[in-house]
Amino acid sequence: MNDSTIHELISSEAIQQRVNELGKEISMDFIDKKYPTLISVLKGAFLFSADLFRAFTTPFRLEFIHASSYESGTRSSGKVSLTVPPDIKGKNLLIVDGIIDTGLTIHSIIQSITPPDPATLSVYTLLDKPARRKHPVTVNYSGFTIPDTFVVGYGCDYNEQYRHLPFIATLQ
Ligand code: IMP
Ligand code: MG
């Protein structure tokens, strides 16, 4: 696939505005919580979580989970491999993902770190595709709800390409 198949869906300005709003809202939600910790789901959430982290108005800790569910292209392998940080016990966790599609990745992450380990656990995603859901997931905040279409940019890839785009685009 080449660049001629890309169509901007969400502009860089719209993303930044929404991320700043979310940063303020989340900061207020966690203001009384002990050890609030953002867990960024790599690789797709790396830009979103970096911008969100800078939009917080109160202090947060930072961890990373490496998750991969897509073997290649737009097809999921149906299996998720996870690298979970060891030191998350007793913390108030915000799992931050780039896209929730079938819900398999987030479902697997939640299974791997369910209470009583974290004090609280909430899920945040920049993009939500509810029409594609196969696994039950409670999404506490989403930046944008998008239709059942494959997107790239702002951290999201197609075969490791297009992550650098500052906007979200459809790829057809
Ligand atoms: P799920 O496990 O089906 O919810 O898929 C979640 C992961 O699949 C996301 O974190 C992305 O890495 C990837 N993914 C799902 N939809 C898209 C898309 O439209 N573009 C790029 N990656 C996607
Ligand atoms: Mg991918």
CA distances from 78 to 55, 88, 140 (A): 34, 26, 24
**Helix/strand/coil for 47:** helix
* pLDDT for 111: 87
Q: Is the peptide bond before 33 cis (omega within 30 degrees of 0)?
A: no
CA distances from 132 to 8, 167, 170 (A): 21, 22, 16
Using pLDDT thresholds of 50, 70 and 90, give the confidence band for residue 16.
very high
Report which protein residue has its CA nearest ligand 1's atom 11. 99
Whether the pTM exceeds 0.95: the reply is: no
Chain segment 113-170, per-residue pLDDT in tens: 876 677 899 999 999 999 999 998 999 999 999 999 999 999 999 999 999 999 999 9
Residues within 5 A (CB) of ion ligand 2: 70, 157
Q: Tell me the best of 7, 96, 99 to mutate to test the pocket of ligand 1, counting ligand atoms within 8 Å of each CB and taking the most.
A: 99
